[in-house]
Amino acid sequence: MEIKSKTNIGGLEFEWDLEKGNFLFEGEDAVLFWISSAMRTFFDTIEEISGEEASNLVFETTGFRQGLVVGQYFEKIKDVSIAQAAELITNTYASAGWGRTTIKNLDFESKTLTAHIQDSWEYKINLAQEKKQGGNYLPAHYAGIFTGLFGTNIWYKVVQHQLEGHKYSVIEYFPSDVTITNNIHQLARKKEAEEILRLEALVEEKTSELKELVKELSSPIIPVLEGIVVVPLLGKYDEERSEELVVKTLNNLPAHKANYLVLDLTGLDKDISEHTVSLIEKIGSAASLIGTDTILVGISAELGMIISQSTINFSRFDCFQTLQHGIYFALGQHGRKII
C-alpha cells in the first residue's frame, strides 16, 4: 500500500500521508467528511442543543468570520486584483467540494456583487435534513470574504435558495452597517427580553394563585355554636381584601342564622392603619343591618390606641380581651352557658 501520495488537479495540490494520518490541501492540513451523514449529524447536533434561531446565528457568524480570514489573506497578496482573488477563491472552493460559485456584477466602485452558488455542501446538508429553507453559512461566508477584500463591511441578501427548487442560490452583496457583533447582541437582548416576559408571566400566574389561596385561607367564617359565628381577621387588609371580607361575611351570616358575629382581632398585623379600623366598623355596621350583633375580641394595645384616637364610635360594640370571653358573653345573651 502506498504510504504517501501527491496529485495536482486544476493547479491545486492534494497530498496524503497515511503513516501520519495527514491530508494536505495546498500544503495546509485539511479534513474530509461525508456531507449527508457525518456533517449532517454535526449540524443536527448544534441545532438540537442551541435551538434553531441560535444555531442559525452560530452558522452565520462562523461563516462570516472564516470568510473574513480568507478575504484578508488574499487582500494582502500583491499583484492580485479583487476579481482575480475572487476567481482564485471560488476555484479553490470548487476543488475542495464546496460547490460551484460564480461571481456576477462585481462593481469595485459601489462594492457590490452577486453570487450564484450551486450544489454546495451546505445545500446538500440542508437537503439531507429535509429543510424547506437554505442555510446562511455560505452566504455569510462570502460576505466575510468580500469584507476582507474590499476593506469595508459587506453584508448579504438571499434572493433565492437552490433548496426552494431553483437551479442555484442567488445572493446579493453590498456595503452595510449590519455586523455579526450586532446580530449577536440583538439575539442576546431578544433572549433576555423573552426570559423576562416568561418570568413576569410566571410571577403573575403564581401571584394570582397566591391571591386565590389567601382568599380561601384568610378570614374564614367559623360557626362555633348555634347562632354564633367567629371571623378571625388575619394580617394586613388593603382595599381589595377588605371588600372581599365584607362581602363574604355578609353573604354567609344569614346561612348560619347568626345572631352574633365575633370578630377576632388577635391576628391583625401589628402595623394597624386607619383603614383597618374603618374596616372593623364597616363590617359591624353592615352586620347590624341584617340583625346580627358584633362582638370584638383580642383588641391589642396598639389597636386600642388607634381606636381611641379615631373619630369612629366603637361604643356600640361589646369588646372583650379573649375569644373565650366573647363566646361566653354571646351565650349568656341567649340564657345559655358552657358546662
CA distance 112 to 110: 5
Residue 267: per-residue pLDDT: 83
Quick one: cell of 201? 408571566
What SS3 state is found at 201? helix
Q: Are 162 and 70 in contact (CB under 8 A)?
A: no
Amino acid at residue number 315: S
Q: Is the pLDDT of residue 163 over 90?
A: yes
CA distance 104 to 171: 10
Strand partners, 17: 4, 22
Residue 191: per-residue pLDDT: 63
Max distance between CA atoms of the chain, in angstroms, equals: 118
Q: Is the pLDDT of residue 335 over 90?
A: no
CA distance 125 to 128: 5
H runs (alpha helix) in 169-238: 180-217
Q: Is the pLDDT of residue 8 over 60?
A: yes
Rounded mean pLDDT of 53-79? 86
Rounded mean pLDDT of 287-291? 88
Residue 218: per-residue pLDDT: 59
Domains in the chain (CATH in brackets) are 1-32 (no CATH), 36-92+102-178 (3.30.1380.20), 219-333 (3.30.750.24)
Residue 35: per-residue pLDDT: 86
* Cβ-count burial 132-168 (b if 16+ within 10 Å, e if not): eebbbbbbbbbbbbbbbbbeebbbbebeebbbeeeeb
User: Which H or E element spans position 222?
Assistant: strand 222-225
Instruction: List, as one string, the DSSP characters of 227-278.
Output: TEEEEE--B---HHHHHHHHHHHHHHTTTTT-SEEEEE-TTB-SS--HHHHH
Rounded mean pLDDT of 93-119? 93
Residue 338: per-residue pLDDT: 64
Strand partners, 230: 222, 262
- Three-state SS for 83-112 is HHHHHHHHHHHHHCCCCEEEEEEEECCCCE
Residue 79: per-residue pLDDT: 75
Quick one: cell of 114? 452577486
Q: CA torsion angle for 35, 38, 44, 45 (degrees, to 10)?
A: -150
Query: pTM to 2 decimals?
Result: 0.56
Q: Is the pLDDT of residue 273 over 80?
A: no
Rounded mean pLDDT of 222-238? 85
Rounded mean pLDDT of 325-335? 85
Per-range mean pLDDT, top range of 5-19, 47-61, 141-155, 322-336: 141-155
Rounded mean pLDDT of 245-271? 85
Residue 95: per-residue pLDDT: 86
Kindly tell me the sign of the dihedral angle through the C-alpha atoms of 73, 76, 79, 81.
positive
Residue 2: per-residue pLDDT: 63
Rounded mean pLDDT of 208-221? 68
**Residue 37 DSSP code:** I
Residue 223: per-residue pLDDT: 87
Residue 52: per-residue pLDDT: 84
Q: Is the pLDDT of residue 107 over 90?
A: yes
Percent of the chain with pLDDT over 90: 28
Rounded mean pLDDT of 186-190? 65
Q: Is the pLDDT of residue 215 over 70?
A: no
Rounded mean pLDDT of 54-80? 86
